[in-house]
Structure 1
Amino acid sequence: MEVEQRDNECIWYDPALVEGDPRQYFDIHFWHQQAAVTGSAKGRGTTFFIRGPKMEMALRHYYRGGLFGKFVKDQYWFQGWEATRCGAEINLLAYLREKKMPVPRPVAARAVKNGRTYRADILVEKIPGARDLVAILSENSLLAHDYRAIGRLVRRLHDAGVCHTDLNIHNILRDRKGKLWLIDFDKCQQRDGEQWKEDNLARLHRSFKKEKEKRQIRWQPEDWAAVLKGYNHIRK
């Protein structure tokens, strides 16, 4: 990952994926002019899907959530470039890719400083043909071996020492070939110790139960046992 740093701006980018000036990669008007915007998704903000020169990508601006976010939409306190939300996320994705984890390939990230605060954007690979588990379970049930695969995926993440602080079934995808992926590593970090791993699993469990109540997904409480079997490397 290359880094370009100026007084008020820092850009991280993969030179194998970025052609020309990396700054234009964060300009949605530039992509519209290229007729390269293929879609968008609404969340805390809008994520734009872009057909890039090397792959399809997702461009996301960082927005605050919660009550504070109603007053300060997208500004964060500056504590150094590597501590920015985008810098931390793109470096964590690069680390996980080195560990052969199925996470989106990081393309580029940018933080722009204004006084004591900054705004940020990140550009990552869009996994082709992938859908999150909520969408999948809204239509079909999963088999026990699917849930064991989910458990194994989380175990690999934990073995790499990474806590996904928003581990839920919106952030676990499955592509057309059945491969599972993890996305959205904003505010995630490497951790020592063991207790956080149990807490992280419990968070995922709550996500299944929440979506069952909210959307009536095709998940049953007994399916969780298969997730734990996969996590603990129990084959049957």
Structure 2
Amino acid sequence: MQQRDLANGKIWFNEALLTEDPNACFDIAYWQQQDRVIGSAQGRGTTWFIKGEKTEMALRHYRRGGLFGKLVADSYWFTGWQKTRSLQEFSLLQKLHEQGVKVPAPIAARAIKSGFTYRADILQQKIPHSQDLVGLLSQQTLSENLWHQIGQTIAQMHQAKVNHTDLNCHNILLEQQQQVWLIDFDKCYQQSGKGWQQGNLDRLLRSFNKEVTKRNIHFNQDNWQALLAGYRAK
């Protein structure tokens, strides 16, 4: 990880994956002028998908959710560069990636300080030809082997001592080579012990059941047991 100091902020980046100018890469206009924007997705804000020289990338600006987010959209209390959400997510993705867990490779992160607060952005690998489990299960069933793989991937993350505080079926992707990926590690962290791991699984099960009611996705208890079998085997 390389670091570049700005007058009022810092940029951290992986020079092996980012050959473009780190100072400009968080400005969507920079990519639009080069006709490198290949799509977008809406969440709390817009995530832009970009064709980089080395890999396809996803650019996201950190925004707050909920009622407080309507009052303070994208500012966070500054307590040190190491505690900025962008660097923490970048560092966590890097650790997981190095341990072989299938997560997007971190490419660049930025934090800009203004008074007592900061704003942040992150640029990470876009998983090509992938779809989240909700989209897939709305259309089809998954094999028992794939449910095993999902459980095994979650187990790998837990073996790396990472607590995914928002593990849900939208944050699990399956790509065309039938590989399982985990995404969205904002506000996640490493934690010792094992007591928290069941909470991750409980949250995931609630999300599946919610989508069964909401979208009638193809999910049942046999699928869940297959996921758990893969998780325990790993």
TM range (shorter): over 0.9
User: For residue 180 of structure 1, what is the amino acid of its counterpart?
Assistant: V
Percent of matched pairs sharing the same residue = 52
**What residue in structure 1 maps to residue 184 of structure 2?**
184
CA distance in 2, matches of 1:33, 1:94: 30
Map residues 72-83 of structure 1 onto 2, 5 A cutoff. Answer: 72-83=72-83
CA distance in 1, matches of 2:23, 2:172: 30
User: For residue 30 of structure 1, what is the amino acid of its counterpart?
Assistant: Y
Map residues 43-122 of structure 1 onto 2, 5 A cutoff. Answer: 43-122=43-122
Residues 63 and 73 in structure 2, CA contact (< 8 A), matched pair in contact too = yes
**What residue in structure 2 maps to residue 200 of structure 1?**
200
CA distance in 2, matches of 1:18, 1:56: 11
Secondary structure of 1:155 counterpart: helix
Secondary structure of 2:32 counterpart: helix
CA distance in 2, matches of 1:65, 1:123: 20
Q: Which runs of 5+ in 2 are unaligned?
A: none
**What residue in structure 1 maps to residue 14 of structure 2?**
14
1:84-136 Cα distance to aligned partner (Å, 9 max, x none): 01010000011111101111111101000000000000000101101111111
1:164-197 Cα distance to aligned partner (Å, 9 max, x none): 1110111100110000001111000000111100
Count residues with an aligned counterpart. 234
User: For residue 165 of structure 2, what is the amino acid of its counterpart?
Assistant: T
**What residue in structure 1 maps to residue 36 of structure 2?**
36
Residues 171 and 183 in structure 2, CA contact (< 8 A), matched pair in contact too = yes
CA distance in 1, matches of 2:172, 2:81: 29
Secondary structure of 1:195 counterpart: coil
Secondary structure of 1:89 counterpart: helix
Residues 19 and 54 in structure 2, CA contact (< 8 A), matched pair in contact too = no
Q: Which runs of 5+ in 1 are unaligned?
A: none
Give the structure-2-normalised TM-score. Answer: 0.98
CA distance in 2, matches of 1:34, 1:158: 40
Shift of 1:7: 4.7
Shift of 1:157: 0.5
CA distance in 2, matches of 1:77, 1:131: 34
Shift of 1:6: 3.6
Shift of 1:10: 0.8
Residues 107 and 125 in structure 2, CA contact (< 8 A), matched pair in contact too = yes
The answer to which of 28-37 and 3-12 deviates more is 3-12
**What residue in structure 1 maps to residue 162 of structure 2?**
162
CA distance in 1, matches of 2:114, 2:82: 16
User: For residue 70 of structure 1, what is the amino acid of its counterpart?
Assistant: K
CA distance in 2, matches of 1:20, 1:229: 44
CA distance in 1, matches of 2:6, 2:37: 29
Q: Which runs of 4+ in 1 moved over 4 A?
A: none
Residues 161 and 190 in structure 2, CA contact (< 8 A), matched pair in contact too = yes
Shift of 1:27: 0.7
Shift of 1:18: 1.9
Quote the RMSD (CA, aligned, Å).
1.0
